C-alpha cells in the first residue's frame, strides 16, 4: 500500500473533480498504486476497458527515457489520467494532496498505461528514473462506469489538430 503527499491543484469541470500534480516514478511504481483493467478479446474473463498492453511500445518508451537521461534531454510532458471512485484528502490552504491507497485502493488507469509501463521498465533498468516526476491528473469520486466512458472519450473523440495554417492566430 502507498501513502504519498504531493502538491496539487484542484480543478472542477462540471461534476468532475480533478487534481493535477506531479508524482515521482518511485511512488507510481509502489505496489497497488495503480491498476490497468484490460479488455482482452481472447480472454472471456476480462471485464476492463483498456487495450491490451503493447509491450514493444512500452519498451521503446523505456529506451527513450534512459537515453534521454544520458543526454539530459529526458522529458515526457503528457500527463497520465488516473481515477478513483473514492475521495482524496486535500488541504486547500497548503495545496497538499494525500494519497493513501489503503483507503482508496489502486487507481484505475484511464489514460497512460504505456507511459506508466515505459516508466516502470526504465526505472527497473536505471534507478535514476525513480526521481523522475510524471504529470498526473487524478479524477475522484468517479464511478467505474464513468471511468470507462472517460477512457472512450479520451481515446476516440479528443483529437489535437496538427494542421496549423498561416491564418492561425494566437489572439483569436
Across 87-106, average pLDDT: 93
Whether the predicted pLDDT of 46 surpasses 80: no
Q: Answer for the pair 90, 116: CB distance below 8 angstroms, yes or no.
A: no
The model's pLDDT over 27-38, given as tens digits with 9 standing for 90+, comes to 999 988 877 765
What's residue 153's pLDDT? 58
The model's pLDDT over 132-168, given as tens digits with 9 standing for 90+, comes to 999 999 999 876 656 555 545 566 554 444 333 333 3
Q: Which of 42-51, 52-61, 136-145, 151-160 shows the lowest per-residue confidence on average (mean pLDDT)?
A: 151-160
> Which triple of cell numbers denotes residue 133?
516526476
Amino acid at each position: 500500500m502507498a501513502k504519498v503527499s504531493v502538491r496539487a491543484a484542484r480543478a472542477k469541470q462540471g461534476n468532475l473533480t480533478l487534481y493535477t500534480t506531479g508524482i515521482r516514478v518511485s511512488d507510481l511504481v509502489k505496489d497497488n498504486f495503480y491498476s490497468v483493467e484490460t479488455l482482452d478479446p481472447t480472454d472471456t474473463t476480462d471485464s476492463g476497458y483498456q487495450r491490451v498492453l503493447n509491450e514493444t511500445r512500452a519498451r521503446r518508451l523505456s529506451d527513450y527515457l534512459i537515453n534521454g537521461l544520458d543526454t539530459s534531454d529526458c522529458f515526457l510532458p503528457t500527463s497520465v489520467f488516473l481515477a478513483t471512485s473514492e475521495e482524496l484528502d486535500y488541504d486547500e490552504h497548503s495545496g497538499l494532496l494525500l494519497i493513501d491507497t489503503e483507503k482508496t485502493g489502486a487507481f484505475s488507469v484511464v489514460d497512460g498505461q504505456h507511459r506508466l509501463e515505459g516508466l516502470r521498465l526504465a526505472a527497473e533498468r536505471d534507478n535514476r528514473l525513480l526521481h523522475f516526476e510524471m504529470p498526473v491528473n487524478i479524477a475522484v469520486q468517479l464511478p467505474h462506469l464513468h471511468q470507462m466512458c472517460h477512457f472512450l472519450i479520451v481515446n476516440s473523440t479528443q483529437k489535437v489538430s496538427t494542421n496549423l495554417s498561416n491564418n492561425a492566430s494566437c489572439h483569436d
